Amino acid sequence: MKILLASPRGFCAGVNMAIDTLETAIRLHGTPIYVFHEIVHNKHVVDRFVREGAVFVDRVEDVPEGAVLLFSAHGVAPDVRRVAIDRKLRAIDATCPLVTKVHLEAVKYAKAGYRIMLIGHEGHDEVIGTMGQAPDAFTLVEDAEAVDTLPFGPDDRLAYLTQTTLSVDDASRIINRLKARFPQIVGPPKDDICYATQNRQEAVRLLSDGADIVLVLGSQNSSNSQRLAELARERGIRAHLIDGANEIDPAWFGGTETVVITAGASAPESVVQDCVSWLRDRYAATVEERTIREEDVYFPLPKEIRAAAAAVKLPMA
C-alpha cells in the first residue's frame, strides 16, 4: 500500500486564528468561557476545549450576564451582537476575516438596493450569519436547479455571494446559471470561496487520479470536509469522511494499492497522523507527501485579545 499525503491539508489560517483566540482567552479570563456555536466544525477540537472548560451555546440568552463570550470562526448576525451587548457580555470576535469580507459585501449590496442571491447550504452557521447581515435582501440558492424558480426579472437589481466553504465546481455551475438567466447580476470583485477550500479541493482533484480510495479527515458537520469527499466520489473514486482512525473499516482496503489522505480545514494534524500510523501498522504502507500549493496565510488574533494580552504581558498562543 502507498499513501499519498495531500498538502496543503488541515488547519487554515482562519481556524488557527480562532483556536489561538480561544486558547488565549482561557488563559486571560479563566473558565468557564462561553462560545457561540462550535469554535470550528471539528469534534476533536470542540471536545478538547470542553475538557478545558469552554461552554458551547446556541443561544446568547443562555450565557450569564457579564460573562466572556467568543464568536466562532463562522461569524454571527448583527442581532447576535446586539443581544450580547444588552446582556453586558464581554464579546471576543473570532470570525474568520474571509467570512467578514462576505459580510461587508452583503451590507454594501443591500444598502445599494440589490437583491442578494447567497449560494450556500441552509442551516450552516456561516450562512445564518451572512444572511443576518441584511435579512430582507437575501435569497438562498442551494443548487443550479433552484435558479430556474427564482421570482426575479430583467429589471431587478441582483447580486450574488457565496459561502466560503463550497465546492468550487458546484459554485461555478450555480453562478453560470445565474448569469445566464440574469445577465444584469453582479458579483464580488474577488472570489468568496476561501483560498484553503480551493487548495484542498485542488489537491484531491489532482491526487485522486489513479488512487483506489480517498480518506478525508473531518467531522460530518464540516462543509469543506464534505466537499472533499464529494469531489473524489464525483471522479469515480471511493471516498470516506472520518473523524479519526477509529472509524476506519479494514474492509475498505481489499486489494487497495494507493490511498490518498487529506484533511478538511478544521481537522487537526494529529488525527491525520493517527490514520497514517494505522495503515502503516496493518499494511506496511509507505508514505509520500505531495505538495500541490504552498500556504503562508496568517491572520492576527482579534484586537481585543491582543490588547488584553499585552496589558498583562501574556504571551499569545
**Catalytic residue positions, numbered:** 126
144 strand-pairing partners = none
Cβ proximity of 120 and 140 under 8 Å? yes
149 strand-pairing partners = none
In angstroms, the CA 33 to CA 181 distance is: 48
Cα angle 122, 125, 127 (rounded to 5 degrees) comes to: 50
Provide the residue type at 7 as one letter: S
Cβ proximity of 261 and 4 under 8 Å? yes
In angstroms, the CA 176 to CA 145 distance is: 12
Name the nearest CA neighbour of 105 among 85, 132, 143, 133. Answer: 133
Name the nearest CA neighbour of 57 among 95, 84, 17, 30. Answer: 84
Which cell numbers hold the place of 198? 480551493
Provide the residue type at 166 as one letter: L
- Quick one: which H or E segment has residue 160? strand 158-162
Name the nearest CA neighbour of 12 among 97, 70, 91. Answer: 97
